């Protein structure tokens, strides 16, 4: 089925345009026709307690404990945090630090489980009937299930569901654009489980209190678009599919909202302020499982691809499975990869070791060969402006980079550094091969550190001033008490003297 017939079948409405963007080679053909496989359980699972934006979960288990599939092993801590559940049954062999699936390679608190092969379920969450459940009950169930944004952002999903209390919401957009090259796991999820994704979207819409659901899919996924278009009235709500152009970074939340609705989100504002909330397709599927069947988030789909992989595939993998086990399941490596990434080639995180586990936000493992990973010498900026044309946020990357290189971080912030979405378009098109996006990330980290130090200094001054004020108040209280006591003693002596004089008469 070609794109024109799909577009006619879906009867899409007019779309809007976004600035900038690029059209990299998609290379999705490596896995687009690979059906989802269930990966066997590994011998060890390493489950980090920090798999989300916000505070790490607090461990509820200790070494030697036997755990069951779906058991809560990490409790959300703080307003922005997420529960962590055991992906299978087995024995806890360690609760301690282990290398994080992050370029830093720094250790994070991790629960290590030796699987027993039984895959024995513990008590599941209570099932809900979304037809009769309240929005608050649905949001609470999503929170208990530990669901986070599975497109890579990993923001706790329940918090976004509760935005109904703060903003007048009208529209839910399910982000199925999957604009990163190589990745096809969302495409396969919708092609094989369209009804479940549509149901999850409707459950999210009910929790948000909206009646408009839009599934946004890039034009290079016609089968997925056709599959989910059949389920256009889940829970009695209206669902429409909008086929958006194949363009990177179409999956960026704010740019997708602008393409679909024509509404541009102001810098550092939320799309909810425009009445629109965006959730990923995989997140919708996880919500379906949590609400309908009481299943917490313990596994996810991911794409394993790249020319250095022997057998590219789309897999359903338990959270905490080591990257090495996944690569071995796919036949191993055909050569030493030039780059080994978790996620896509544009925004994915490079990793130094295959021992790291996959987490809730891992949507891909890419082993790129030397021919795929562009590696050329960096040259000075020629101020060609190509990066400006590519930037979807309308920034001037070459100017921000010049200010960063001169040490003027505040100046870089004034010309838009904090509005960068880290998409990498500027680095991709730069003819001088300048790692612009990496420099921007470094500069934002430095600014955050500077702001943190300033905040600490101000807080120290505030606490010192409060202590001085407190001590002065105590001293003043003591002085007042002593003066009162002296006054009372003087009055008493005067009374005694007066009494003595009266007695002498």
CATH of the domain at 345: 3.10.20.600
Q: Does 265 fall in a domain? A: yes
Same domain, residue pair 152 and 269: yes
Name the domain boundary from 341, 368, 395: 368
Q: Does 427 fall in a domain? A: no
* Residue 80 and residue 156 in contact, taking contact as beta carbons nearer than 8 Å: yes
Same domain, residue pair 194 and 288: yes
Residues annotated within the binding site for [4Fe-4S] cluster are 381, 384, 387, 391, 420, 423, 426, 430
Task: List the CATH number of the domain containing 142.
Answer: 3.40.50.11540
Give the pLDDT band (50/70/90) at residue 352.
confident
Instruction: For the chain, report the end-to-end CA distance as a whole number of angstroms.
Output: 126
Please report, rounded to a whole number, the percentage of residues in the chain having pLDDT higher than 90: 77
Residue 13 has pLDDT above 70, yes or no: no
Same domain, residue pair 229 and 283: yes
Residues annotated within the binding site are 381, 384, 387, 391, 420, 423, 426, 430
Phi, psi at 50, each rounded to 5°: -120, 90
Same domain, residue pair 242 and 321: no
Same domain, residue pair 281 and 311: no
Same domain, residue pair 232 and 163: yes
What is the Cα 44 distance to its own chain's centre? 25
90-93 LR contacts (CB < 8 Å, sep 24+): 90/45, 90/66, 90/114, 90/115, 90/116, 91/64, 91/65, 91/66, 91/67, 91/116, 92/61, 92/62, 92/63, 92/64, 92/65, 92/66, 92/67, 93/44, 93/63
Q: Does 31 fall in a domain? A: no
User: pTM to 2 decimals?
Assistant: 0.88
Instruction: Note the pLDDT of residue 492.
Output: 84
Which has the closest alpha carbon to 5: 241, 226, 230, 229?
226
The count of other CB atoms within 10 Å of the CB of residue 173 is 24
- How many domains does the chain divide into? 2
Q: Does 166 fall in a domain? A: yes
Same domain, residue pair 335 and 272: no
Give the pLDDT band (50/70/90) at residue 505.
low
Residue 132 has pLDDT above 50, yes or no: yes
The residue range of the domain holding 337 is 301-368
Q: Does 82 fall in a domain? A: no
Same domain, residue pair 153 and 207: yes
Give the pLDDT band (50/70/90) at residue 81.
very high
Same domain, residue pair 239 and 134: yes
Residue 5 has pLDDT above 60, yes or no: no
Residue 120 has pLDDT above 80, yes or no: yes
Q: Give the torsion sign (CA, 413, 419, 424, 426).
A: negative
Task: Give me the residues paired with residue 303 across strands.
Answer: 314, 364
Same domain, residue pair 179 and 206: yes
DSSP assignment of 406-454 equals TT-HHHHHHTTGGG-----HHHHH-TT---HHHHHHHHHHHHHHHHHHH
Query: If you average pLDDT over residues 268-276, what whole number do you get?
Result: 93
DSSP assignment of 90-113 equals EEEEEEEEEE-SSTT--EEEEEEE
Q: Does 90 fall in a domain? A: no
Same domain, residue pair 248 and 220: yes
Q: Does 358 fall in a domain? A: yes
* Residue 101 and residue 357 in contact, taking contact as beta carbons nearer than 8 Å: yes
Same domain, residue pair 238 and 217: yes
Q: Does 433 fall in a domain? A: no
Query: What is the widest separation between alpha-carbon atoms in the chain?
Result: 126
């Amino acid at each position: 089925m070609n794109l024109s017939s799909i577009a006619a079948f879906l009867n899409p409405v007019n779309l809007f345009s976004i600035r900038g963007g690029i059209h990299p080679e998609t290379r999705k053909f490596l896995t687009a026709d690979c059906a989802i496989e269930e990966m066997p359980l590994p011998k060890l699972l390493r489950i980090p307690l920090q798999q989300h934006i916000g505070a790490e979960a607090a461990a509820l288990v200790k070494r030697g404990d036997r755990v069951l599939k779906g058991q809560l092993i990490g409790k959300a801590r703080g307003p922005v945090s997420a529960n962590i559940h055991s992906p299978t049954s087995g024995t806890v062999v360690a609760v301690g630090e282990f290398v994080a699936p992050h370029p830093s390679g720094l250790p994070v608190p991790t629960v290590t489980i030796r699987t027993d092969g039984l895959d024995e379920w513990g008590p599941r969450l209570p099932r809900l009937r979304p037809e009769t459940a309240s929005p608050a009950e649905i949001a609470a169930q999503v929170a208990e299930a530990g669901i986070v944004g599975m497109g890579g952002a990993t923001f706790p999903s329940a918090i976004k569901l509760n935005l109904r209390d703060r903003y007048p919401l009208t529209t839910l957009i399910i982000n199925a654009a999957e604009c990163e090259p190589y990745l096809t796991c969302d495409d396969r999820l919708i092609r094989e489980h369209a009804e479940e994704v549509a149901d999850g979207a409707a459950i999210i819409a009910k929790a948000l209190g909206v009646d408009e659901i839009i599934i946004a899919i890039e034009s290079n996924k016609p089968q997925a678009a056709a599959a989910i278009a059949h389920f256009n009235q889940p829970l009695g709500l209206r669902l429409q599919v909008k086929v958006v152009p194949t363009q990177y970074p179409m999956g960026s939340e704010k740019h997708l909202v602008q393409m679909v609705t024509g509404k541009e989100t102001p810098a550092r504002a939320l799309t909810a302020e425009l009445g629109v909330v965006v959730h990923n397709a995989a997140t919708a599927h996880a919500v379906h499982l949590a609400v309908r069947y009481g299943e917490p988030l313990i596994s996810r789909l991911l794409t394993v691809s790249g020319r250095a992989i022997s057998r590219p595939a789309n897999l359903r993998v338990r959270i905490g499975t080591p990257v090495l086990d996944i690569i071995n399941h796919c036949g191993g490596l055909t050569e030493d990869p030039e780059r080994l990434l978790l996620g896509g080639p544009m925004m994915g995180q490079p990793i130094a070791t295959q021992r790291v586990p996959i987490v809730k936000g891992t949507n891909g493992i890419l082993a790129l060969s030397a021919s795929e990973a562009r590696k050329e010498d960096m040259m000075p900026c020629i101020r060609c402006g190509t990066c400006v044309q590519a930037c979807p946020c309308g920034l001037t990357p070459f100017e921000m980079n010049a200010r960063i290189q001169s040490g003027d971080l505040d100046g870089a912030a004034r010309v838009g550094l904090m509005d960068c979405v880290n998409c990498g378009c500027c680095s991709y098109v730069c003819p001088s091969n300048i790692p612009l996006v990496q420099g921007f990330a470094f500069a934002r980290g430095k600014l955050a550190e500077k702001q943190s130090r300033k905040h600490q200094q101000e807080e120290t001054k505030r606490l010192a001033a409060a202590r001085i004020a407190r001590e002065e108040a105590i001293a003043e209280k003591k002085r007042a008490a002593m003066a009162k006591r002296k006054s009372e003693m003087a009055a008493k002596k005067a009374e005694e003297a007066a009494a003595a004089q009266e007695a002498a008469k």
